[in-house]
Amino acid sequence: MPQKDYVKASRPKTKPASRRPARKNSAASSGSTAKPWLLLIVTALLISGFVYFLWFLNQQPAVTVTPAKPVPSPAKKDELPAKPAQEPYQYIKELENKEVKVDVAEQQQTGGPYQMQCGSFREQKQAEAMKAQIAFVGFSSEVRRTEGSNGVWYRVVLGPYESKRQATADRNRLREQSINTCQIWNWS
C-alpha cells in the first residue's frame, strides 16, 4: 500500500505571483515611519523621569537610627531553678504498690467449629491448583471429594477453626494475596 504524505497535503498551496506590480499606499508608509520617532520620544521621557527620581532620592536628608539600650537579664542562663522540697504530684506514691483488678466476662461460643471453603471444582486438577495457591500464602488446606445429586465435586477447605474471628483473620490474609473466593461456614 503506498504511503500518503499527510503533512504535505495539509499545507496550503502558495498562490502564483500575479503579473501586476503591487501598489504602494502612501498613507500606510507615512504612518509606519512615524511610529519609530514616537517610540524614541517615549523612551527618552521614561529615562529622564527615572534620572530625576534618582536625583530626588539623593537630595533627601539621611535618617539616623539610634539603637535601643539592651535590657540586662537578672539571672544567668546557665542556672537552673531550685529543686522543690516535696513532689507536687501524689499519684506517683499512690500507684507504686496498688494493684488494679479488672473483671472480664467470658465470651460465649455461639457456634461450633467453623470451616472455610475457598473453591469447589468439577476437576481435581483445578482443586489442587487452588490448594497450591493457598499453600504459597502459608496455610494448609485439603481437597475433599463429595458426591451429590449433580455429580462429583472437589472442594478446597481450610479448618476447622474454633472461632469465627480466627477464620475471618485467615480469610483477610488470603484476600491480600488476591484469593477472594473463600466463604466461612458453621461446621456442625
Count Cβ atoms below 10 Å from residue 118 Cβ, excluding itself.
22
Q: What are the φ/ψ torsions at residue 160 (nearest 5 degrees)?
A: -80, 150
For residue 145, the domain's CATH number is 3.30.70.1070
The answer as to whether 163 is a domain residue is: yes
**CA torsion angle 161 166 169 175 (round to 10):** 10
Q: What are the φ/ψ torsions at residue 36 (nearest 5 degrees)?
A: -65, -35
Distance of CA 48 to the CA centre of its chain: 56
Q: Identify each DSSP E strand in the chain by its residue range.
A: 114-121, 142-148, 151-161, 183-186
Residue 39 in this model has a pLDDT that exceeds 80? yes
Mean pLDDT of the chain: 83
Question: What is the pLDDT at residue 84?
Answer: 77
The answer as to whether 144 is a domain residue is: yes
Percent of the residues in the chain that have a pLDDT greater than 70, as a whole number: 79
pLDDT tens string 130-150:
999 999 999 999 999 999 899
The answer as to whether 99 is a domain residue is: no
Task: Quickly state the pLDDT bin for 175 (edges 50, 70, 90).
Answer: very high
Task: Quickly state the pLDDT bin for 77 (edges 50, 70, 90).
Answer: low
The answer as to whether 67 is a domain residue is: no
Question: What is the pLDDT at residue 76?
Answer: 56
**Where in the sequence is the domain holding 164, given as residue range(s)?**
118-186
The answer as to whether 152 is a domain residue is: yes
Q: What is the DSSP letter of 113?
A: -
Number of domains in the chain: 1
